[in-house]
A and B are shown apart, each in its own frame.
Chain A
Amino acid sequence: QKEVEQDPGPLSVPEGAIVSLNCTYSNSAFQYFMWYRQYSRKGPELLMYTYSSGNKEDGRFTAQVDKSSKYISLFIRDSQPSDSATYLCAMRTTGANSKLTFGKGITLSVRP
């Protein structure tokens, strides 16, 4: 089992839909959880970051972490065509030899 598993996609939704993107993990040492967004032919950029179980909201985006079940989610409300991108989850352990591990990414297309 890979340390981080992400729904493979691709995902296509109509404009205005609620989008749910998910990742599961097996390493309980992961303590920091991130979502990166990558537009076509660009580098990934940090979208959201959280370290505790529960929800974190930023505008139309909500990051959810459930450490007991080892999964994280990113919700996008009122999705827009400009949200069309690849979304990568990422997780990091703590300590001197902390490790950052990415999911494989899911490509989202929001249709006008």
Chain B
Amino acid sequence: NAGVTQTPKFQVLKTGQSMTLQCAQDMNHNSMYWYRQDPGMGLRLIYYSASEGTTDKGEVPNGYNVSRLNKREFSLRLESAAPSQTSVYFCATYRGIGELFFGEGSRLTVL
């Protein structure tokens, strides 16, 4: 089982460029999440999707959009990248009781 797969693993953008981070899961979980992790800031929730067809803002949604394409896939889009969006991005699914399954992360640098 692959679990949670994120693509790309690394990306360098210039300020103002757009890109989409892809996430796919094979765990048949309803809920999916996008977090960013920055030094000294911990994990911060960007957006989440409780089920197919629904999305909600998390703690730091500004500058991002999401799409829950189907039960398996949850994408995160940066329309106009800014240096402040340089971070490591994690997609996760939720089994329940607090157990999140994370992907390996996507490292994004915005110059």
Chain B interface extent, by class:
10 to 19
Kindly provide the distance from the CB of A48 to the nearest chain B CB, expressed in whole angstroms.
11
A50 to B35: give the CA distance in the assembly, Å: 23
Residue of A nearest to B88 (CB): A41
Main secondary structure of the interface of B (DSSP, over half): strand
- Check A104 against B42 for contact (C-beta < 8 Å): yes
26 A-B pairs in the complex with CB atoms less than 8 angstroms apart = A32-B98, A34-B98, A34-B99, A41-B104, A41-B105, A43-B4, A43-B90, A43-B102, A43-B104, A43-B105, A44-B102, A46-B99, A49-B97, A49-B98, A88-B43, A90-B98, A91-B98, A92-B97, A100-B98, A100-B100, A102-B42, A103-B42, A104-B40, A104-B42, A105-B42, A105-B43
A102 to B97: give the CA distance in the assembly, Å: 14
A73 to B93: give the CA distance in the assembly, Å: 25
A43 to B43: give the CA distance in the assembly, Å: 11
Residue A45 interfacial (CB < 8 Å): yes
Complex partner residue of A45 from B41, B42, B102, CB under 8 angstroms: B102
- Check A43 against B42 for contact (C-beta < 8 Å): no
The total of interchain contacts (Cβ-Cβ below 8 angstroms) comes to 46
Q: Please report A residues at the B interface, Cβ cutoff 8 Å.
A: 32-34, 36, 41-46, 49, 51, 88, 90-92, 100, 102-105
Point out the residues of chain A lying under 8 angstroms from B41, CB to CB: 104
Kindly provide the distance from the CB of B2 to the nearest chain A CB, expressed in whole angstroms.
13
- Check A46 against B100 for contact (C-beta < 8 Å): yes
A94 to B56: give the CA distance in the assembly, Å: 18
Instruction: Tell which of B43, B98, B103, B104 has the most Cβ of chain A within 10 Å.
Output: B98
- Check A42 against B104 for contact (C-beta < 8 Å): yes
Q: Which 7 A-B pairs have the closest CB atoms?
A: A43-B102, A104-B42, A92-B98, A102-B43, A32-B98, A34-B98, A46-B99
Residue of B nearest to A99 (CB): B45
Instruction: Tell which of B41, B90, B102 has the most Cβ of chain A within 10 Å.
Output: B102
